[in-house]
Amino acid sequence: MLSMKIPGSTTKNQLSRPNVSNEISSGFSQSLPNHAYRKSYHPLQTGSQKILVKMNRHYDIGEALAICTKIKELSPSTIIVAHFIIGHPGETWRDYWRSLAASRFFDNPIPLAYSRNKNTVSATMADQISKPIRSLRLAIFVLFHNVVVLFRIVDTIKQKVAPS
């Protein structure tokens, strides 16, 4: 679903699911001449395909990240946002590093520590991640993204002050 506020004005691109390549290729690219997209939200939640399956999500991370790349090609000023669940049951350090790697595709990756909620499938899963490990992973995620943003700022400054 591509949602737009008022035709002819600045719009918000809201992706209801990551596997929407047809919507991107037809809807988003055709609407670019008439609209300035400010923000595009993607409910990615993790960079690990294994954890996506545990979350009962039915999309491919590679396709979702390719969509982000396409959006940036079509509209470099669009802010791309995603939530990342940190410390989902069964998340290994390798799964976690995959989320860190995927977060680079987003201007605003929002990390959220997994919390065990009653009456959910994940609450009964084995391999619950301890709170100290979830907190450590969350802190690393925030630090990592701050460094990524710092490098983006430096690149932007270099581009603006570089002689033409």
DSSP notation for 140-161: HHHHHHHHHHHHHHHHHHHHHH
CATH 3.40.50.300 assigned to 11-161: no
**What is the pTM (predicted TM-score) of this model?**
0.77
Contact 81, 108 (CB under 8 A): yes
Phi-psi region of 63 (alpha: psi -120 to 50; beta: other; left: phi over 0): alpha
pLDDT over 50 at 158, yes or no:
yes
DSSP assignment letter at 9: S
Listed by start position, the domains of the chain span 11-161
* Amino acid (1-letter code) at residue 55: M
d(CA 9, CA 89): 43
pLDDT of residue 70: 86
pLDDT in tens, 18-77: 544 445 545 555 555 445 567 888 888 999 999 999 998 888 899 889 888 888 888 888
